[in-house]
């Protein structure tokens, strides 16, 4: 039976003028809407007490398992406002399914897909005024997450878990650099995840593990890091929080195959699906670092980009590592930006939703 949601409206909601000031320059992940969703789970009762509540701090016991053993998973999706004012989600069932995959890996309970989508729908409906006009590329970023909230320091799967959904109005993730081309630091020293590890789960621990490489990248003027599987030192995986693609001069669109250490991105899957419409041949392959960097040097790969819900598609201008620097031949990113527009046009309702990816909320 699906959950029903109790709605407790905030008495401290921002005024129209305050909200307008935030939406004028939302940034990314700094401002949050007036409400949040909370659903509790215990081993005895299953999922219960679903509610939309005023946004605010969470009270947890200091011994809550999540603080000690990182039993936590999350999701990321967006709500888009179309020109007629209606509000839509993009493939939320993929996020619902992936949360379950992540839950399996981290020994957290399955939240039924219908309840996941309903939780998101409830929040977006109550906070609909926070979904910005498209205005270039604005949206409401939605962050569902699940934590082991049971107060217990023993090592086992938590028997008390809480699921939340919060939302944040978002502008362009990398600012203007998002379409101007970013530089990528290549590391085979640090791993964000390993074989048999949690790389295919969307969990905070993978991000904590990626930060040291990310900061090494910053020191070399790079915005993001590309991880190479460090045991064999040759298999290209992905970035800290985004998948990666290369485009060859003859129109192949190649991304590393899903090996269990890479996150199965919704944007990645959507790009593979629309590729043919843009005259590109999608391929999921094992890619070695030498093949990628050598291919850039030889002119085989002329464009590269990274992708994820937050940043959509960001063209890559070049790669750097301790061993050298590689610039992509094509710095106007024609095909990358074509793919970017194709995805954005579907999300914002500017082109026909031929794959049935949009779900109307409001």
| Residues in contact with ligand PLP by the rule CB under 6 A | 76, 202, 238, 241-243, 263, 265-268, 308-309
Q: 8 burial class (0-12, 13-18, 19+ CB within 10 angstroms)? A: exposed
CB of 200 to ligand PLP, least distance (A): 9
Q: How far apart are CA 206 and CA 106, in angstroms?
A: 12
CB of 313 to ligand PLP, least distance (A): 10
Q: Say which residue the tokens 């890091």 belong to.
A: 225
Nearest to ligand PLP of 13, 170 (CB atom): 170
Nearest to ligand PLP of 51, 201 (CB atom): 201
CA-angle at 251, arms to 247 and 256, nearest 5°: 40
CB of 191 to ligand PLP, least distance (A): 12
Nearest to ligand PLP of 243, 321 (CB atom): 243
CB of 269 to ligand PLP, least distance (A): 8
Q: 176 burial class (0-12, 13-18, 19+ CB within 10 angstroms)? A: exposed
C-alpha closest to that of 68 among 144, 145, 149, 146: 149
Nearest to ligand PLP of 78, 121 (CB atom): 78
CB of 95 to ligand PLP, least distance (A): 7
Nearest to ligand PLP of 310, 361 (CB atom): 310
E-strand ranges in the chain read 6-7, 35-42, 46-54, 72-74, 77-81, 87-90, 139-148, 160-170, 182-187, 224-228, 236-239, 243-248, 252-256, 281-285, 301-308, 312-321, 324-327, 358-360
Nearest to ligand PLP of 9, 355 (CB atom): 355
Q: How far apart are CA 55 and CA 359, in angstroms?
A: 25
Nearest to ligand PLP of 204, 338 (CB atom): 204
CB of 263 to ligand PLP, least distance (A): 4
* Count of H-run helices and E-run strands, the chain: 9, 18
CB of 113 to ligand PLP, least distance (A): 15
């Amino acid at each position: 039976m699906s959950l029903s949601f109790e709605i407790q409206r905030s008495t401290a909601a921002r005024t129209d003028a305050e909200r307008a000031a935030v939406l004028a320059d939302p940034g990314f992940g700094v401002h949050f809407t007036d409400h949040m969703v909370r659903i509790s789970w215990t081993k005895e009762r299953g999922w219960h007490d679903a509610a939309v509540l005023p946004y605010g701090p969470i009270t947890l016991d200091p011994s809550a398992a999540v603080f000690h053993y990182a039993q936590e998973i999350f999701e990321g999706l967006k709500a888009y406002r179309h020109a007629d004012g209606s509000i839509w989600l993009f493939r939320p069932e993929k996020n619902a399914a992936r949360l379950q995959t992540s839950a399996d890996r981290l020994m957290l309970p399955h939240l039924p897909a219908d309840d996941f989508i309903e939780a998101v729908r409830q929040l977006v409906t109550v906070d609909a005024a926070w979904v910005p006009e498209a205005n270039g590329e604005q949206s409401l970023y939605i962050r569902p997450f699940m934590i082991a909230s049971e107060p217990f320091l023993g090592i086992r799967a938590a028997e008390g878990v809480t699921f939340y959904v919060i939302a944040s109005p978002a502008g362009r993730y990398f600012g203007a650099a998002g379409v101007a081309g970013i530089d990528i630091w290549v590391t085979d020293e640090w791993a964000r995840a390993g074989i048999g590890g949690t790389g295919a789960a969307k969990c905070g621990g993978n991000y904590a593990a990626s930060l040291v490489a990310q900061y090494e990248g910053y020191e070399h003027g790079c915005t993001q890091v590309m991880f190479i599987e460090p045991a064999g030192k040759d298999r290209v995986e992905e970035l800290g929080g985004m998948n990666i693609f290369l485009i060859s001069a003859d129109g192949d669109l190649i991304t590393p195959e899903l090996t269990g250490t890479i996150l199965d991105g919704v944007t990645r899957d959507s790009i593979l699906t629309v590729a043919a419409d843009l005259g590109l041949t999608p391929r999921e392959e094992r890619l070695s670092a030498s093949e990628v960097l050598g291919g850039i040097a030889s002119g085989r790969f002329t464009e590269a980009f990274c992708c994820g819900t937050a940043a959509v598609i960001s063209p890559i201008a070049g790669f750097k590592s301790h061993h050298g620097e590689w610039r992509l031949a094509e710095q106007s990113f024609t095909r990358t930006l074509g793919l970017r527009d194709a995805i954005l046009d579907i999300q914002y309702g500017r082109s026909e939703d031929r794959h049935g990816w949009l779900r109307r909320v409001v």
